[in-house]
Amino acid sequence: MELLSIKKLDLTGKKVFIRCDFNVPMDEFGNISDDRRIRSALSTINYCLDQECAVILASHFGRPRGKVDEKYSLIPVARRIQHLLKRDVKMAKDVIGKDALAKASSLKPSEVLLLENLRFEEDETKNDKEFSKKLASLAEFYINDAFGVSHRAHSSVEGITHFFDNNHKAAGFLLQKEITFFSKLINNPVRPFAAIIGGSKVSGKLEALMNLLPKVDKIFIGGGMAFTFLKKMGYNIGASLVEDDLLEEAGHIMDKAKKLGVKFYLPVDVIAADKFSEDAVSKIVTTQEIPNAWMGLDIGPATVRLYREGLADVQTVLWNGPMGVYEMEKFARGSSKIANFVADSYATTIVGGGDTADLVQRVGVDDEMSFISTGGGASLELLEGKILPGVEPLIIQEED
């Protein structure tokens, strides 16, 4: 799959609209706590500035649900971009209102403008045609560099592409890099290839699991989703997270793994707690002995040892989803042990998913991973074998 390349566009001195993903985590004081997504967009922005483009940046941030809400303003993001680019960044007071239109039309070559949060407009998530057209009217070229949101058919991601021909739109460097990395991973992984899948629910990762089965050699399950599998196998899982409506699906996944010869690993012990809280009473128990009314909130030490053994010979590791409730120190140990082990291995290690990226950063091993994807949902949909709605219009078709 080849994408329209930004390098093929005749951008010199032109006005360019770049859809970025600046949906960054903030702390309780409104400070950006991890600017990876902003830093990841710099290659494309700098490339355009080197071509003396007038650069219009647009992104969503949080879920303001179509209403202006200061809490979700992109002003802190504008400051951070300004700092990283070491040049002035103008901030529009709205998305497509008077201020944005005036600032966009008077924007000069080599200047940068950031529009306000796209999701202050309810039409953005509706992929409204008129709204897409208005966004498109701001610039002569459209670049999508927002991998993290390319699985959404929203105006700034999908609708807008219909207003530019193939000589006026392209994938940015980040989008290109993510798509290339995941295509290679799916189609041509160095074996043995293992997937570590955790997180809260089976439901969110069901299709990805099904799609991964024929491709991987081993699967290691952790997090809350493990208990649906364990329950299906007949274990008493106490009050652990479970999706009863997916028990049958869980059974299918395990049967399919068996048929395909995929080694399917489940926790053999857990950290069980009497409540979902940092100050819970907790103890290590085997999965056979989870007390009634207690819940498993992390994988236990025997599971860590087992998973290390199983992972020792793998050449490629894909990790999506934490092994436990890593946000609470008490239940972060399993995730952090696995993170350290994966980081130390010589395998190609790919981390997908906001939580897992956050986790490896907290553990301090983010630099040791081969690739950290900026998109959790988007990378899962790629793994499910889907073509993302924001990527499809940028694929070079045969007849082109």
Which of these segments, 4-12, 115-123, 301-309, 319-327, binds ligand AMP (CB under 6 A)? 319-327
Which of these segments, 107-115, 311-319, 320-328, 380-388, binds ligand AMP (CB under 6 A)? 320-328
- DSSP structural state of residue 245: G
Using rule CB under 6 A, residue 200 touches ligand AMP: yes
Phi, psi at 176, each rounded to 5°: -55, -45
**Dist CA 187 CA 209 (whole Å):** 16
Using rule CB under 6 A, residue 375 touches ligand AMP: no
In one-letter notation, the amino acid at residue 35 is: D
Using rule CB under 6 A, residue 49 touches ligand AMP: no
Q: Which of 243, 355, 358, 366 binds ligand AMP (CB under 6 A)?
A: 355
Taking the complex as a whole, how short is the minimal distance between the CB of residue 357 and ligand AMP, in angstroms?
A: 11
Nearest to ligand AMP of 251, 354 (CB atom): 354
Return the H-helix or E-strand segment holding 143.
Answer: strand 141-144
End-to-end alpha carbon distance in the chain: 13
Nearest to ligand AMP of 117, 287 (CB atom): 287
Which of these segments, 17-25, 84-92, 147-155, 197-205, binds ligand AMP (CB under 6 A)? 197-205
Pairs from 242-248 (Cβ < 8 Å, separation ≥ 24): 243/201, 243/202, 243/203, 246/202, 246/203, 246/206
Does the bond joining 192 to the residue before it have cis omega, within 30 degrees of 0?
Answer: yes
Nearest to ligand AMP of 127, 303 (CB atom): 303
Q: Which of 148, 172, 192, 324 binds ligand AMP (CB under 6 A)?
A: 324
**Dist CA 57 CA 125 (whole Å):** 18
Nearest to ligand AMP of 96, 206 (CB atom): 206
Using rule CB under 6 A, residue 300 touches ligand AMP: no
Q: Which residues are catalytically annotated?
A: 37, 201, 354, 377
Q: Could you give the string, one character per residue 225-244, with x where binding to ligand AMP holds by CB under 6 A and - elsewhere?
A: ----------------x---
**Among 20, 161, 155, residue whose Cα is nearest residue 89:** 20
**Residue length, the chain?**
400
Using rule CB under 6 A, residue 199 touches ligand AMP: yes
In the bound complex, which residue of the shown chain has the CB atom lying closest to ligand AMP? Answer: 199
Using rule CB under 6 A, residue 204 touches ligand AMP: yes
Q: Are strands 193-197 and 371-372 parallel, antiparallel or unpaired?
A: unpaired
Q: Reduced to 3 states, what is the DSSP secondary structure of residue 3?
A: strand
Interacting residues of 180 by C-beta distance below 8 A, sequence separation 6+: none
Q: Which residues bind ligand AMP (CB under 6 A)?
A: 199-201, 204, 223-224, 241, 296-297, 321-322, 324-325, 327, 353, 355
